[in-house]
Copies of this chain bind each other. A is one copy, B any other.
Amino acid sequence: MTILINGQPETCIDIQDRGFQYGDGLFETIAVVNGVCPLWKYHMRRLQHSCEQLQLNSPDIDLLSQEVKKLSAKKKRGVIKIIVTRGSGGRGYRYPENENITRIVMIHPWLDYPASNWQEGINITQCNTRLAQQPALAGLKHLNRLEQVMARNEWQDIKITEGLMFDTQDNLIEGTFSNIFLIKNSQLFTPDLELSGVAGVMREFIIQQARELAIDVDICQLRENDITQADEMFMCNSLIGIWPIKQFNDSSYAVGPVTAQLLEITQQIYSSPNV
């Protein structure tokens, strides 16, 4: 059993579900380590915040927790995906009169990547597809992901691991499936996500950890030339932790000390899951 829809094992969804008709919903992608989800509290906080922003009734968190435990109980490694939609109904775009959210919990196999992604870093490219500025949806992990789909499919070269996305006003925002941090003079910088992008759980964790280590963290507007001037850079998400960036266009980067320090901290999540 790998999928529960409203608590029942299922493999298909009602075609009238607004998640299908309009992308009217949100999701979480959560690492399972030795049967537990180390960043569970961060994911649930984001899920509840996203539900609020989308005017969706949040699912019962204890119920979600039970269902996730059911699917991930004996898994050394796995990926839990939770999807919440506004369910079926409502005339056109109008909310249904009696909201009946759809609650989906599924488990996927853990994805293996080369050890060099963490040890030496990755090569990245720049995407042509821009992220639109949309304050009503910025930061949220909603189901409207065509921008990421189009961006990710701009390159086929398997030596390129991730692509950077800029918004329509040329601000650096994030990767297609990760957030980005730059380091300059031992300070951390990461793009402001008030208008575009997804506020990642790993991004939040890293900001917290860095501040506890008295590393300055500036959440701000970043541009292309900030990349070329950076001493170090890394991408992050809740499944891979941190991948240093080794190469971007003509610029090469070593795995710097700040990156190495945060890499060590984040890697502990995937071995000792009590966070």
- Stretch from A62-70, A129-137, A228-236 contacting the other chain: A129-137
Interface members, chain A 5-44 (any B CB < 8 Å): 5, 10-15, 17-24, 27
List B contacts of A93 (CB < 8 A).
Answer: 145, 148-149, 151-153, 176-177
Contact flag A13-B15 (CB < 8 Å), given A134-B132, A149-B22: yes
Distance (Å) between the CB of A177 and the closest chain B CB? 6
List B contacts of A55 (CB < 8 A).
Answer: 150, 153
Quick check: is A260 within 8 A (CB to CB) of the other chain?
no
Contact flag A136-B150 (CB < 8 Å), given A3-B15, A15-B106: yes
Interface members, chain A 67-112 (any B CB < 8 Å): 83, 86, 91-95, 104, 106, 111
CA distance A130 to B5 in the complex (A): 33
Q: Tell me whether A94 and B153 are in contact (CB under 8 A).
A: yes
Partner of A133, one of B10, B147, B168: B168
**How many identical chains are in the complex?**
2
Q: Tell me whether B23 and A143 are in contact (CB under 8 A).
A: yes
Quick check: is A262 within 8 A (CB to CB) of the other chain?
no
- A104 to chain B: closest residue by CB: B15
List B contacts of A149 (CB < 8 A).
Answer: 18, 22, 24, 86, 93, 95
CA distance A183 to B171 in the complex (A): 38
CA distance A144 to B18 in the complex (A): 11
Give the size range of A's interface with the partner: 35 or more
List B contacts of A13 (CB < 8 A).
Answer: 12-15, 20
Interface members, chain A 186-222 (any B CB < 8 Å): none
Partner of A147, one of B136, B143, B168: B136
Partner of A23, one of B17, B23, B86, B129: B23
- A151 to chain B: closest residue by CB: B93
Contact flag A95-B153 (CB < 8 Å), given A11-B14, A134-B168, A144-B146: yes
CA distance A10 to B11 in the complex (A): 14
List B contacts of A135 (CB < 8 A).
Answer: 130, 168
List B contacts of A153 (CB < 8 A).
Answer: 55, 93-95
Of the A-B pairs whose beta carbons lie under 8 Å apart in the complex, a sample of 5, sorted by A's number, is A12-B13, A12-B15, A93-B145, A130-B134, A143-B146
Closest 8 A/B residue pairs (Cβ): A23-B23, A132-B132, A144-B144, A93-B152, A132-B134, A22-B145, A12-B12, A20-B20
A contact residues vs B (CB 8 Å cutoff)? 3, 5, 10-15, 17-24, 27, 54-55, 83, 86, 91-95, 104, 106, 111, 129-130, 132-137, 142-153, 168, 176-177
13 new A-B contacts, CB < 8 A, other than A21-B83, A22-B149, A143-B146, are A13-B14, A13-B15, A15-B106, A19-B20, A24-B145, A24-B149, A86-B149, A93-B149, A94-B153, A130-B134, A134-B147, A137-B146, A144-B145
